[in-house]
Structure 1
Amino acid sequence: MTLAYRIIRSEHYEIDLVMRGLDTLADAANRETWEPDFDLLFLILDYVESFPATFHHPREEDYLFKALRCHTPETGPMLDQLCDDRAEGLGLVGDLRRSLETYNVRRAARSWFHEAAKSYARHERQHMRWEERTILPLALQVFSKEDWQEIDLAFERNGHPLLSDRRRVEFDKLFALILRRIPGAVVFGPKVSNRKKAA
């Protein structure tokens, strides 16, 4: 598989791990005796507000989706729908923030937080499955070796001039901190670097 493909799958895996943690904490919030770890909850919120929207999604749209639109114009409506789905996800993140901020000062809002967290986690998982079952297989089918080389290079460089290697390191540290603090978090499989191995 190409570098860009492996990076996308790896980042989906990272996001899914955070969604699992959010699911676990949302379920715990339904128990009146549970003492919330708001520091952890706000770390997760920081991650979902920043990493997908400013790092993961722009690369997919600017390089993978753009190339698909050129090679297979008939996929345009589906790609537009995917982008609309991402906008819907941002709305769910906004509801998650409002519910968490309210829950932080008023424990009676636990049900609101529970529903907001579960809704966002479910939406994000469905979105990633959609990409992995339709977009990625199609890209593997229609892109040439030269197409993938160009896309790989963009992903290797993080794909956006505003997203430096330092920013990527910051995301990695935030992700690692979240995993260390999620109760019972289990990690399987290696992380895929966006850097090619030295010859």
Structure 2
Amino acid sequence: MHRLLNELHQDHVNLGRVLRILENQLGLLRAGADADIHVLGEIIDYVQSYPDLVHHPREDMIFAAYRARALPGIDVIERLMAEHRTLLDSTAQLKVSLEQWHCDSPMPREQVAGQIDDYLRLQWEHLNLEEGSIYGMLAEGLGEEDWAGIEAGLPPGSDPLFTDQMRRRYQNIYERVVESAY
């Protein structure tokens, strides 16, 4: 498999770890306990800073190259590209809801929990679709010339949660990932 697909796969592994932390926070909310608002905020900031702004645009470039070759599976590629936009909007909406809830708005705990639950479902379904079939299809359908063109136009960036430089920014999430012995 091409190096870029391996990097994107690792991003999915990392995001999966973060989503499991979000699931744990959701469990606390559903049990009537207090979720850690700092962890929730860091999760949203992380998703907005890396998956939404770097990871998904990288995938979209690869998807566009595949689509340009008019290979089978374009309908799934189109769906995934649309889901990237939906996920971007969903993350922004969840951020607003969490901020309002944190500021003691009249938003019920159940409503926040439901929104987190919906968000998690969207994220997991998207990850599973990409990992389940699309990456293999991309590996088979794109040649070295395609990959060279993609690499030339990729936005820079690496996953900030798993680099020494940015670990402090996401300290609460990082500690929970380490605790879970990923």
Scaled to the shorter chain, the TM-score interval is 0.7 to 0.9
Cα gap change, 1:85 to 1:149, in 2 (>3 Å): same
After superposition, where does 1:20-35 map in structure 2 within 5 Å? 20-32=20-32, 34-35=33-34
Task: Decide whether the 8 Å contact of 2:54 with 2:157 is kept in 1.
Answer: no
- Could you tell me how far 1:139 is from its partner in structure 2? 1.3
Residues 121-158 of structure 1: CA deviation (Å, up to 9, x unaligned):
1111110111122321111222224434554x45xx9x
4+ runs deviating over 6 angstroms:
165-168
Distance in 2 separating the partners of 1:69 and 1:182: 36
Please give the alpha-carbon distance, in whole angstroms, between the structure 2 residues aligned to 1:165 and 1:8.
10
| Gap runs ≥5 in structure 2 | none
User: Equivalent residues in 2 for 1:26-65 (5 A)?
Assistant: 26-32=26-32, 34-62=33-61, 64-65=62-63
Change (3 A) 1:101 1:128: same
Identity rate of aligned residues, in percent? 23
Q: Structure 1 CA distance, aligned partners of 2:43 and 2:63?
A: 27
Question: Amino acid of the residue matched to residue 142 of structure 1?
Answer: G
The alignment's C-alpha RMSD in Å is 2.9
Matches of 2:158 and 2:79, distance apart in 1 = 31
The 10-residue stretch of structure 1 (73-82 or 15-24) with the greater mean CA deviation from structure 2: 73-82
The separation in 1 between residues aligned to 2:117 and 2:159, in whole angstroms, is: 31
One-letter amino acid matched to 1:65: F
Greater CA deviation, 19-28 or 89-98? 89-98
| TM-score normalized with structure 1 length | 0.76
Bigger relative CO (Cα 8 Å, ≥ 6 apart): 1
Give unpaired runs (5+ residues) of structure 1: 188-199
Count of residue correspondences: 179
With normalisation by structure 2, the TM-score equals 0.82
